[in-house]
Amino acid sequence: MHTSTLEHSPLGHATAGSDHYDPALLFPIARTETRAGLDLPQAPYGSDIWNAYELSWLNAKGKPIVAMGRFTVSADSPNLIESKSLKLYLNSFNEERFEFPDIARQRMFTDLSRACGKPVHVEILSVRPAFELSCTPLRGTCIDDQDIDFEPVDAPAPDSLTHSQPAPFVRETLVSELLKSNCPVTGQPDWASLQIRYAGARIDHAGLLRYIVSLRRCREFHELCVEKIYGEIMARCAPDELLVYARYTRRGGLDINPWRANFQPDEVGQTRTLRQ
């Protein structure tokens, strides 16, 4: 297993996979490295929810099994896992034989937990029930119809985050489909639906949308992008409660769905959006 810095990761490089099970393909990246320079309030609660749609191995007789995987990584784990390395690792199961699915699940639990430095919750889902899951948008009031003027900027614009006038205390859940960030290595676009749940002085919806749109040229990992949004809202608007949740569009058979909050929510929805 690699333990180097981001420039040594398989991301952005031609990389050969493996035709046999190989946990050394996993590439952990220290969260301290990705968070370097992020001088913002950190969320005490959160996780990164990965869905793997291209998961397969062989049963004891050599017959292919296909499944869907869900991996939940705590936001306070020492490491995150680079996404291309996770795909290569999961592909290394394709020709491996397991008598029972739980053996494969336990193998993934051991390897992913070791890579992240903290136990990772691993679920193996049958594709038949999974295919029956409907796609629904994130719950909340969509703010994308705000009539805003905007000029492209090279860096996020947190000055747009202000309270409304007047600013009564509210509890509301806001949603935007306009979040776009970019891979910090390849520059390729990452698209997401964004949900913001908060309690506090009312946040100006137009200003919030301007801030979200200002991230279009931001080059960050999914996880750090959500942490940046959480930190900027907390620093500028100081809500009593805040949860930021992004469901990113699937890439290479994987989608990543980070959430960060200053409270422990009863639940964080797992329903796929249409773009996933």
Active site residues: 183, 190
SS3 105: helix
| Residue 95 DSSP code | T
